[in-house]
Structure 1
């Protein structure tokens, strides 16, 4: 008999191969626009960031990118005002692409799929945010990139779709993924007792009946999503006896007997939460676009209302403070401040004036930022260092420290320093398809 873990793994592999995720809506590109996205890994290590694979650029898009790169390199040699020249180059490239779109319908379709377009925002406040939210991937289910709350809906829809063909295992996953942690734990404990009693006392009729009016059943099982489907999968049926509703276990509905119950019990006890992977939500920015530093509510541990109140209290405390604070007092205040955040926005400034932006958990480590930057470089073998906002260059001992430990929360700007002669690099550091993410000012 295969283990529960193997069964769950094969379950998701089979469903993905069959492409049964019918209710999934369109995904979201890394810059926030609605479009399908991919999440296939290109590296074997699971603890480093692996960007989604991108479609090959069309010949027209490649030509435009090469032209932009060539102009940047040429301009950099003659003009020290990189910010302005880069913006002008990007605007010119955009005008050229727009002209091509008007005359070639097919090119318009291809480029619109491969080049993210600016997101149109209705909320004026959102225009000032450094990121539009926090997004996740769920490779076990599909290749989409969505906010956490949308993933909860998608996962629930996906699991309920599978009940008709795989009721036992699916009901276990629904119990764990569609209820609160406390509710699912209480339900699993109760269902485990039901099945264990039948396995250990196969001839005892009292263990084959569950009175629906029973308080424990009502509080811990009936109120939990997926629990009734689990009982039906185990061999229980709903029956009325003397005007009372029961769930009755019958060998007729479970011909495999104790073996099937043990297998279902193993699946119930070893099922896991379907994991979500944080998406980096890559953006490539011009210096003038880095002025946006306000973060959306998704980055916080607390609600927007609680956050607003804390900010008011913080402002009042600063205004009323008339004494000098000790170092310990300042550190405690800083710690309270960064503990409000679940995620951090990291920007890396390159010597050519371009900024690379990504989203990280506050508990991710410094080496994961290095891996993220490395994966975005045109030359991934390039040796480099990252410098903190105050000029600190970290050593190998710092690589296992979290962003929280290094106080790189809630947002920070790191400086990219190449360890090689820049003349041998060729001007631009990032991959061409990432440079195409730059939006006009």
Structure 2
């Protein structure tokens, strides 16, 4: 059944590509006539919203960098400019730290005043959390938009493949897993009774006012579509008391064979919700950009930001009152509880040249996912290590299965990149020793 579901989605993707290919024409037609007929049949061009000014600037900058690489492939002017910019920023950063240190020693009257600036969305480390759904399309969208798209997509398939589609709607368009499981078991029981007792009319009617039906089945989206696919029709039936009620009545002629009901039960029990894949939202940042982009958007929190701030304030007050009585185990327990308030984390990897590679991860993903994320963006596929801010060296063999919460790198952290000692000398003698990321990744460096 899993293979059948996979083929179902593959067929839909192929159909979508075929429809996008445009109208067909006969092989006997000349090229000119077919082109002219196609032009006459074309609909009005689809209007697309224009790029924002910020997007235009970024696109032009990226094109210029690519063009410069093509004109002089022996010298990467884009990389050289980036390295110069990074060097300048690191020098400014050190100068600012020195100035801050000297200012802190000055009398209070001479210390510079700090102005409070309201956080703006442009200071977010990421604009949001985005997902992919390869089964349906290559779009990258927020979760809520994907839920709408999945629902729309499934309902569009009902006429062609009602039974299997209804199973997917039940699993993908409802939220309460316990209620979904209860609905599935109830639906399977309806169908199993028909298969086991094919001549018993008692099992071929479902009273729609029945409590089991109204509580377990009817509220679940997709359940009615499933029963229609199983051969049921809604009818007004007079009950034993002479009162007309709404019933779902099984019609044998609506089902080709009993085997189709068996397949429907199997589909109900094996179908799974359509899964979304977290998009890494890859970014490449200069040091100054990384310093400015520190705020997390609301979509990163398991709780609302207001609730988290309120709890943090209460916990801070409680810690101040009982700080001397708290053990290390108690502090670690509170730290983990605090991290579980987040659903996603920003992981940045700082390279020796100052460039930072950023990705979005679920807090329950393993370290191996971070390692793979870095590896697939490197210019040289060689062993490397990542170090946490506390100096802990992350070793794939030991830390591969540890979650981000286990590693205490939630909700955001900067890991330091270094080549593994086994290849450090090889890299040091290489003419490209200062090149870390792939050229197509470096093109993503955001303009200041």
2: CA distance, partners of 1:56 / 1:184: 50
State whether residues 367 and 403 of structure 2, in contact with CA within 8 Å, keep that contact through their aligned partners in structure 1. Answer: yes
SS of residue in 1 equivalent to 2:318: helix
2: CA distance, partners of 1:141 / 1:403: 29
**Cα offsets for 1:104-126 (capped at 9, x unmatched):** xxxxxxxxxxxxxxxxxxx9632
2: CA distance, partners of 1:144 / 1:303: 27
SS of residue in 2 equivalent to 1:130: coil
Please provide the CA RMSD for this pair. 3.1
Change (3 A) 1:80 1:287: closer
**Cα offsets for 1:193-229 (capped at 9, x unmatched):** 1000000001101101111111111112222111111
1: CA distance, partners of 2:354 / 2:158: 53
Match of residue 202 from structure 1: 198
Match of residue 150 from structure 2: 155
1: CA distance, partners of 2:351 / 2:285: 11
Q: Which runs of 5+ in 2 are unaligned?
A: 20-46, 57-61, 93-117, 239-243
State whether residues 133 and 296 of structure 1, in contact with CA within 8 Å, keep that contact through their aligned partners in structure 2. Answer: yes
Match of residue 105 from structure 1: none
Match of residue 169 from structure 1: 164
Change (3 A) 1:125 1:319: farther
**Cα offsets for 1:96-145 (capped at 9, x unmatched):** xxxxxxxxxxxxxxxxxxxxxxxxxxx96322211111111111111111
SS of residue in 2 equivalent to 1:19: helix
1:16 Cα deviation (Å)?
Answer: 1.1
1:301 Cα deviation (Å)?
Answer: 1.6
2: CA distance, partners of 1:260 / 1:330: 58
Change (3 A) 1:440 1:80: closer
2: CA distance, partners of 1:385 / 1:224: 49
Match of residue 12 from structure 1: 9
**Cα offsets for 1:80-102 (capped at 9, x unmatched):** 546479xxxxxxxxxxxxxxxxx
Could you tell which deviates more after superposition, 355-364 or 325-334? 325-334
Could you tell which deviates more after superposition, 325-334 or 162-171? 325-334
Match of residue 365 from structure 1: 366
Structure 2 residue 79 is matched with structure 1 residue 69: yes
Match of residue 428 from structure 1: 435
1:414 Cα deviation (Å)?
Answer: 0.6
1: CA distance, partners of 2:428 / 2:90: 19
Q: For this pair of structures, how many residues does the alignment match?
A: 372
Match of residue 227 from structure 2: 231
1: CA distance, partners of 2:87 / 2:347: 26
State whether residues 348 and 416 of structure 1, in contact with CA within 8 Å, keep that contact through their aligned partners in structure 2. Answer: yes
1:149 Cα deviation (Å)?
Answer: 1.3
Match of residue 398 from structure 1: 399
1: CA distance, partners of 2:344 / 2:285: 20
SS of residue in 1 equivalent to 2:216: helix
State whether residues 347 and 414 of structure 2, in contact with CA within 8 Å, keep that contact through their aligned partners in structure 1. Answer: yes
Change (3 A) 1:150 1:33: farther
Match of residue 355 from structure 2: 354
Change (3 A) 1:414 1:168: same
Q: TM-score, normalised by structure 1?
A: 0.77
Could you tell which deviates more after superposition, 181-190 or 140-149? 181-190
Structure 2 residue 264 is matched with structure 1 residue 264: yes
SS of residue in 1 equivalent to 2:146: helix
- The residue correspondences of 1:130-141 to structure 2 (distance < 5 A) are 130-141=125-136
- The residue correspondences of 1:41-440 to structure 2 (distance < 5 A) are 60=67, 62-63=69-70, 66-72=76-82, 75=84, 81=88, 83=90, 125-180=120-175, 181-242=177-238, 243-256=244-257, 258-291=258-291, 292-318=293-319, 320=321, 323=324, 325-379=326-380, 381-395=381-395, 396-419=397-420, 420=424, 421-424=427-430, 425-440=432-447
State whether residues 233 and 250 of structure 2, in contact with CA within 8 Å, keep that contact through their aligned partners in structure 1. Answer: yes
SS of residue in 2 equivalent to 1:376: coil
Change (3 A) 1:325 1:214: closer
Q: TM-score, normalised by structure 2?
A: 0.76
Match of residue 116 from structure 1: none
Q: Larger relative contact order (C-alpha < 8 A, sep ≥ 6)?
A: 1
Q: Which runs of 5+ in 1 are unaligned?
A: 35-54, 86-122
State whether residues 130 and 293 of structure 1, in contact with CA within 8 Å, keep that contact through their aligned partners in structure 2. Answer: yes
1:388 Cα deviation (Å)?
Answer: 1.2
State whether residues 69 and 78 of structure 2, in contact with CA within 8 Å, keep that contact through their aligned partners in structure 1. Answer: no
2: CA distance, partners of 1:433 / 1:20: 27
1: CA distance, partners of 2:371 / 2:415: 11
